Homo-oligomer: A and B are copies of this chain.
Amino acid sequence: MGQQPITFLRQVMALCTYPNLLDSPSFPEDAKKRARRILQACGGNSLGSYSASQGVNCIREDVAAYITRRDGGVPADPDNIYLTTGASDGISTILKILVSGGGKSRTGVMIPIPQYPLYSAVISELDAIQVNYYLDEDNCWALNVNELRRAVQQAKEHCNPKVLCIINPGNPTGQVQSRKCIEDVIHFAWEEKLFLLADEVYQDNVYSSDCKFHSFKKVLYEMGPEYSSNVELASFHSTSKGYMGECGYRGGYMEVINLHPEIKGQLVKLLSVRLCPPVSGQAAMDIVVNPPVPGEESFEQFSREKESVLGNLAKKAKLTEDMFNQVPGIHCNPLMGAMYAFPRIFIPAKAMEAAQAHKMAPDMFYCMKLLEETGICVVPGSGFGQREGTYHFRMTILPPVEKLKTVLQKVKDFHIKFLEEYA
């Protein structure tokens, strides 16, 4: 999508990969300092060695320090940090360890609808029960605790709800949860003794000036010891999103708190079967949590590149929302965070019939038509889940501004033509 890698990150990675470059004058000193720190913590000073299954020690320390800074001083313990193969690996590992039982005692896992399909896939892989709670589209996809209550009560009739998954900022829905809402969710989890799983991979991707990312960990601690020493929480981060977009390295971490020591032992054992997460991805994660600071040689360039990516994403989020809302039959909630628009589309009755004739879901039919006629590929809402009778698609806002404008214009033209064709 044209987004360039952050120079500093790649410099440190190259230095770690081929340490001969540590003598090269063309690399800045602060990058060399980071590379030396990482290599010294690796077996044989090499990214090629296995690390501990939980991840390289000093990188887990850097992650803990990052979390503490991010959360205004709320302490983080490196022992609770697990480096992972992207966030997906962490999420499926935690779910694997939490799911158990058969019949009415089968584990229920609560997930938002719309959701990121990793959740439904892993739940199905593990033979757990997917418990849907619906985000409120009419209220900018907010999470409503009453809806959580409805969902958990209903679920208790046929399974044992044990886990509550939250995606904040939302994927595909782009909402950013308010502090109040997070408090309510934590209180609910405490009441219902649910394990909280906070997917916070878009924590750097917040665009609206009137909202802010609050980590579940921070809010949990601020709610006092009754909550902070009892509610079990795993939160996830990744190198794949934010301003860095380093998906291919499969870097990520999870912080797990209040896990029973015996379960923790089982978790480490489970992780050790796969030996360790990719050490290059661990190194990438380290640079994300330990970037250049004021006074360091690379600080200015790093900040410029970071701001440029995030500034552009904010611009594109606004542009996309505005453009979609100009189209009759499309409604798009504000893109407060993450990287996607998830507009609601009106599909005329005749188009529904045509879809049925093609044995396709109406939104799938719409997306296939869009692909055929414009070459633009978006994902039908049915892949993420949506309230019955509503239709959506997910589109990324990653393309460069000018390209995105063209894409949006083409979608608009297509949609108007589609409405006419099936009027």
Residues in B with CB closer than 8 Å to A5 are 46, 48
Q: How far is the CA of A21 from the CA of B7 in the complex (A)?
A: 12
Q: How far is the CA of A88 from the CA of B24 in the complex (A)?
A: 37
A5-B46, A14-B18, A44-B2 known; A92 and B274 CB under 8 Å?
Answer: yes
Q: How far is the CA of A34 from the CA of B125 in the complex (A)?
A: 38
Residues in B with CB closer than 8 Å to A240 are 50
Residue A279 at the chain B interface, CB threshold 8 Å: yes
Q: Are B274 and A51 in contact (CB under 8 A)?
A: no
Q: Are A274 and B88 in contact (CB under 8 A)?
A: yes
Interchain nearest-CB distance for A47 vs B (Å)? 5
Interchain nearest-CB distance for A323 vs B (Å)? 25
Residue A409 at the chain B interface, CB threshold 8 Å: no
Copies in the complex: 2
Residue A89 at the chain B interface, CB threshold 8 Å: yes
Out of B10, B47, B89, which one reaches A18, CB within 8 Å?
Answer: B10
Residue A17 at the chain B interface, CB threshold 8 Å: yes
Q: How far is the CA of A275 from the CA of B201 in the complex (A)?
A: 15
Q: Are B121 and A273 in contact (CB under 8 A)?
A: yes
Q: Are A122 and B280 in contact (CB under 8 A)?
A: no
Q: Are A13 and B17 in contact (CB under 8 A)?
A: yes
Q: How far is the CA of A5 from the CA of B45 in the complex (A)?
A: 11
A125-B273, A274-B85, A280-B280 known; A246 and B48 CB under 8 Å?
Answer: yes
Q: 9 closest Cβ contacts across the A-B interface?
A: A248-B279, A14-B18, A278-B278, A48-B246, A250-B278, A121-B273, A280-B280, A50-B247, A14-B17
Where the two chains meet, the residues of A that have a C-beta atom closer than 8 Å to any C-beta of B are: 1-3, 5, 10-11, 13-14, 17-18, 21, 24, 26, 42, 44, 46-51, 85-86, 88-89, 92, 96, 118, 121-122, 125, 240, 244-250, 270, 273-281
* A–B pairs, 14, beta carbons within 8 Å: A1-B44, A2-B44, A10-B18, A14-B18, A46-B248, A47-B248, A47-B249, A85-B85, A85-B250, A85-B278, A92-B274, A247-B275, A247-B276, A280-B280
